[in-house]
Chains A and B, each alone.
Chain A
Amino acid sequence: MNAKRVASWIARSVVVLVSAAMLAVSAYAYVTYRNVTTNLATDDVIVSDTPSSSSSSAQAPVRKPAQDVNILLVGIDSRTDNQGHPLPRQVLDALQAGNSDGEQNTDTMMVVHVPADSTKKAFAVSLPRDSYVSIAGGFGMHKLNSAYARGKIAAANTLRNQGKDADTVTRESTTAGRKNLIATVTALTGLHIDHYAEINLFGFSEITNAVGGVPVCLNNPVHDSYSGANFPAGPQTLQGIDALKFVRQRHGLAGGDLDRVRRQQAFLAGLANRMFSAGTLADPGKVSSLVDALTKAVVLDKGWDLLGFAQQLRDLTGDHIEFTTIPTIRPNLPTPSDGVAVEVSPAAVKAFVQNLLDPAPPTPPGEGTPDARKIVVQQEKVQKIANVQPIDAGGIPCVD
């Protein structure tokens, strides 16, 4: 009788402990999610067709059916963190980044398309920073990486003339810069940008630390004094400052910035591979350090349902993500005021993006209707312009 009572008492204690543990696990998950949504720096930069309830981010999200999502990823060479404080000297020295020249160039721009239908491919299209395009806001033809700074400086001047205080000027002009870049990219690619994610130099290195390094592979050893890149050939895992050097190196590469774009694509492919294949998202320790790094390093648009997006991402496997670059024409286009730029044809860019969204079905041989032939010819042209093999995140691609 007594033994039975003890056994029952032990059983009950175990059940209570299990119950409490389950409650604790769900609390931990909830707090992690809350941290992401409340600590992330956000900016109201997306001009949406339908007003969304952006203030309800702290409540339990109600799932909306998944939709195709286009995200503009921006890497900015700002020497400040995302709260506007200057980076520590030692970090700048390690980056060989020099002093802030006050200008903010967006040196990496990528449009990432995540389809609602997980059987379709996701793609990331790089927009070379020196692409000579029409800048939104009536600034005329300039390099793409100046769209942000031009919009920001113009807005700052207007705000200052209105007598706004320095903080307001900085905040609102930054928003204007981001909006101007989004408008420019939309006009160039024909894609509506649903979400915006901006990351600075330092934050980028923090994220690579959080995931425990990113696997990359080089075709040849490199030694570049400008970026400090000094790597052997072959596969290697990079994190922190080294990861930054890898994606920033431009000198000593045959294609200059276009080769650097390939580096960035290969790096993101490695990162995606790491995130989706190596179980990073299932490791609570890594998730919380990743969340920590993200909240320090990234600026997102307001009202982005990250949980919903994470659920949409979960179905993606590495080989369903393809990295490409918009078609470019001459890499050494002389310009009146911006030095040498990269020539792009907006029509070719739009056709290229449309083809990514809706790949023309391969026509079976023998069915040579004139219409089908035209589509094939068009497709070949696009392929030729793109001329380099797209990178996908199924493996670790080797790059120059």
Chain B
Amino acid sequence: MSTRRNLTTLPGWLAVLLTLALAVGGFLLGGLYFPISVVIGGVITALFAERSAFFAVAVQPPVITAVVVAGAVLLGRPLLDAATQLASTFPYLAGTMVAVIVILLVRVRSVRSA
């Protein structure tokens, strides 16, 4: 029990940084790596973030996706390319949001019942 509690202490700033780093890496690899990296980043941080970081974890996937895509445009990636990336990400993004919110709800309930 105590080991599990130790695992779930990822601070908010680290959760955001981790998701961002994964997303940037996935974007650089291109193709399906980008949406999949967003899914992985979202789910991992939802599982291990500390209680006070729940809000950040819940809202970050779309924002980080947009930040990475917008950053790529600012760094010279064509707009159409970015738009298509964003389009192909949507089903994964929606899935990530559902997964993240379910995980967080379960964790909130388990903390309360504990």
Contacts and interface: CB of A to CB of B under 8 A. Distances in A.
Interface of A: 12, 15-16, 18-20, 22-23, 25-27, 29-30, 32-33, 60-63, 281-282, 307, 310-311, 313-315
B75 interface: no
Interface of B: 30-32, 35, 55, 59-63, 65-66, 78-81, 83-84, 86-94, 97
A60 B35 contact: yes
Nearest to B92: A60
Given A33-B87, A63-B30, A25 B80 contact: no
Contact of B66 (A15, A22, A307, A314): A22
A30 B59 contact: no
B80 A311 contact: yes
User: Dominant SS at the A interface?
Assistant: helix
B88 to A, nearest CB: 4
A15 B32 contact: no
A60 B88 CA distance: 5
> Among the interface residues A26, A30, A281, A311, which one has the most CB atoms of the partner chain B within 10 A?
A26
> Among the interface residues B32, B35, B59, B90, which one has the most CB atoms of the partner chain A within 10 A?
B90
B81 A311 contact: yes
Contact of B63 (A18, A63, A307, A314): A18
Given A307-B84, A310-B80, A311-B84, A30 B62 contact: no
In the A-B complex, list the 3 residue pairs whose CB atoms are closest, starting with the nearest.
Answer: A30-B90, A29-B87, A22-B62
> Among the interface residues B61, B86, B89, B93, which one has the most CB atoms of the partner chain A within 10 A?
B86
B87 A19 contact: no
A267 B65 CA distance: 39
A307 B88 contact: yes
Contact of B90 (A20, A27, A63, A314): A27
